[in-house]
Structure 1
Amino acid sequence: MPRRSVRAFAATVAATALLLAGCSSEDSGTRSFTADNGTFEIPAQPERIVAIGRAVPSLPTTDAPLVGVVEYSEMVGITEEQEKTYEDLQKVGSGAELDYEKIASLEPDVIISGIPLRNFTKVDEDRLQSIAPTLSLGPLTPYEWKDLGEQQTDAAGVSGIFDDQKAEYEDRAAEIREEYKDKIDGVNFAAVEQADQGANGFTRQYTGGWITNIPEDVGLNFPGEGADTENNGATFTEALSSEKIPDLRDVDAIMYRAEADGSPVAGLEELLSQSAFQNLPAVEEGRILAVNGLWAETYAGALICLDSLEEALKNLPN
């Protein structure tokens, strides 16, 4: 059974388990929860959570009762208060490199993992399970942060906050789509990113990519398909040499990641300054979208991205 089908089946099983539990779940204070690595009894309302991997972006932005987290960057949308709370939390590692003794010392009642599925095997799961029920809810693809965020916050008992953010995001995306449909419909966009560290050239992202999945909710179209052997043959991204820059001559507009002030993120300057890039029709016509927050993995962060995207569409020539 394909992984996405397994995940959908698991979610159905989990929902059924919750229904069957009924009053007994409430009386015992626990409930059944199905993750990618099995079904577990977890607290109905956890009080001490350790978040690892990509569970970190979603849980701090929904004020989950965290006692420990891994080091994480690019947490778009986190408030100053939430950032301070995050900074004060015990750090239990980075990526799949975990400090198991520290995790145990925090006495969590549940551990929520967002470590990507291909890397979860690097974790000593048996040791984690001996500390507390450990739920594997890690992504296979960039856009799965939406479904996984819903599951992670459900497990943490803060789904109400998540649902509010999701509803606000969907309303904003629909508003922008309607307001700027004349600039979106029938337009072919290209999303470019800096090359991987140490590599030459650039990266282009297509449908479902790290920086395209939020704009797609507004209606932007990123045609094409890649085959990145460094990312398990993913079709949403492609590493290209600088000689491929002229291939962007056929697109109508080009999008890239920007800081809050509109300047390109570090690493993009070399691509953007090349004469081959400057001579592209889209660039010469000013059909460029510099968007902040494209790397967001939470609805709180995605709302910031939508604000920036709306401003970019507003300034996009007809």
Structure 2
Amino acid sequence: MTMTLTRGRGVVLAAALSAALVLTGCGSDSGDKDSSTAAAATRTVKADNGTIQVPADPQRVVTIGNTGLPFVDMGGKPVGVTKVRDSELGRLPADQRATFEKATNLGDEVDLEKLADLKPDLILVQIPDAEFKEMEQKLGTVAPTVFWGLDTEWKALAEGLAEAGNVTSALSKQKTEFERYLTKINQQHADTIKSTKFVNVDRYASSDPGTFVIADIGCVEIAQSDVGLNFPKAAEGADPLAYAALPFEQIAGLSKYDAITYPVDAEGHPTATFAPVVETNTWKALPAVTSGHAVGVFCPGNNSYGAVNRYLNSLDHALASLPAKK
């Protein structure tokens, strides 16, 4: 049974499930406890697959699909994870990367028997709905499984993961920091936010040579919706602007914007994929570039509060570096 996970993360579930695995995979020893003790040790959470009874304090969590990095971001320590891109791991703080790499890597192919051998007491999943439907019953024989579809907004996913994985304290602190950043940015950069016409540009590892994109997905969505910066975005119902590759010949068209944001790494250097753009003479001649209004912003991720807070910190410094308007 093959299940391909979108967003670059493939997940395959082993097709066979032996009778022995069904019996041992549940990992339940509730028969040795009275019912009141068992009830006290569990609670219910709501997700896209309904109301699920989960351990009150899960100790052996497996994350599948897009749940791994957000769970680790909130201090979770999964025993098993599915593979993520090396570029994503490279943007993690050292402690989070160590936690992720310590977990058993289930890879792109999730062998259910290998997963069951981890004896998880909770499985967290975010993958396409159709793929989850194919594996839902089998995962449920191993441990309580909580699922969110890909259309779940990142803040709602963080709330759900925190509740199911019992990391709500960390989430609360991250949300407080998030609000603090928003307040600071809106207070200190109010004039810039109100009067500046921005554009966000990017390139991807999969981009054809000699092309770039006007990116309206990813961290820039936080800048648009939460901060209120004026970036171009696709018309309602249309594909994101980021889906359209533009030739380098169109870099000159960016001159109609007051300021440009572009991707940099944690050290502030243009990312390896975007570097070809800044090396062009057309880029160097842009009014925003020559006047200091082209600023790099670090985006470690946009699907958890910790990563978004790091982005907001970088955005705050970038806005502060913009020369004052004459």
Tell me the TM-score normalised to structure 2 length.
0.78
Partner of 1:39 in structure 2?
Answer: 51
1:251 to 236, 241, 257: 257
Q: Which residue identity is paired with 2:277?
A: L
What are structure 2's unaligned runs of at least 5 residues?
A: 1-35
- 1:205 paired with 2:223, answer no
Partner of 1:19 in structure 2?
Answer: none
Secondary structure at 2:81 match in 1: strand
Give the superposition deviation at 1:186: 2.3
Report the aligned-residue RMSD: 2.7
- 1:137 paired with 2:148, answer yes
Give the superposition deviation at 1:173: 1.8
Matched ranges for 1:90-109 at <5 A:
90-94=104-108, 97-109=109-121
Secondary structure at 2:124 match in 1: strand
Contact kept? 2:91, 2:300, Cα under 8 Å: no
Partner of 1:114 in structure 2?
Answer: 126
Contact kept? 2:203, 2:273, Cα under 8 Å: yes
Give the superposition deviation at 1:58: 1.4
Contact kept? 1:51, 1:111, Cα under 8 Å: yes
Q: Which residue identity is paired with 1:299?
A: Y
* Structure 1: distance between partners of 2:73 and 2:234: 33
Contact kept? 2:198, 2:231, Cα under 8 Å: yes
Structure 1 residues 153-189: Cα deviation after superposition (integer angstroms, max 9, x where no partner): 1110111211111111111221122111122212111
2:139 to 113, 120, 128: 128
| C-alpha distance 160-25 of structure 1, shift in aligned 2 (>3 A) | farther
| C-alpha distance 82-101 of structure 1, shift in aligned 2 (>3 A) | same
* Structure 2: distance between partners of 1:289 and 1:101: 49
- 1:146 paired with 2:155, answer yes
* Structure 1: distance between partners of 2:316 and 2:246: 31
* Structure 2: distance between partners of 1:88 and 1:282: 44
1:307 to 306, 309, 313: 313
Partner of 2:19 in structure 1?
Answer: none
Partner of 1:237 in structure 2?
Answer: 242
Partner of 1:10 in structure 2?
Answer: none
Partner of 1:265 in structure 2?
Answer: 271
Give the superposition deviation at 1:79: 4.4
1:56 to 63, 68, 78: 68
- 1:274 paired with 2:314, answer no
Partner of 1:218 in structure 2?
Answer: 227
Q: Which residue identity is paired with 2:71?
A: L
* Structure 2: distance between partners of 1:32 and 1:155: 8
2:185 to 176, 181, 186: 176
Give the superposition deviation at 1:302: 2.0
Tell me the TM-score normalised to structure 1 length.
0.79
Contact kept? 1:25, 1:44, Cα under 8 Å: no
2:83 to 60, 71, 74: 71
The structure with the larger Rg is 2
Structure 1 residues 242-279: Cα deviation after superposition (integer angstroms, max 9, x where no partner): 14323322211111110122111111112222233333
Deviates more, 1:145-154 or 1:299-308: 299-308
* Structure 2: distance between partners of 1:214 and 1:225: 15
Q: Which residue identity is paired with 2:319?
A: L
Structure 1 residues 40-82: Cα deviation after superposition (integer angstroms, max 9, x where no partner): 2222222211011111111112222421112224258854333
Aligned length: 284
| C-alpha distance 179-188 of structure 1, shift in aligned 2 (>3 A) | same
Contact kept? 2:77, 2:99, Cα under 8 Å: no
Give the superposition deviation at 1:25: 10
Contact kept? 2:205, 2:273, Cα under 8 Å: no
**Percent identical residues:** 32
Give the superposition deviation at 1:90: 0.9
| C-alpha distance 197-278 of structure 1, shift in aligned 2 (>3 A) | same
Give the superposition deviation at 1:84: 2.1
Q: Which residue identity is paired with 2:99?
A: T
* Structure 1: distance between partners of 2:296 and 2:72: 27
* Structure 2: distance between partners of 1:257 and 1:153: 29
Q: Which residue identity is paired with 1:67?
A: V
* Structure 2: distance between partners of 1:107 and 1:132: 8
Contact kept? 1:93, 1:99, Cα under 8 Å: no
Deviates more, 1:176-185 or 1:73-82: 73-82
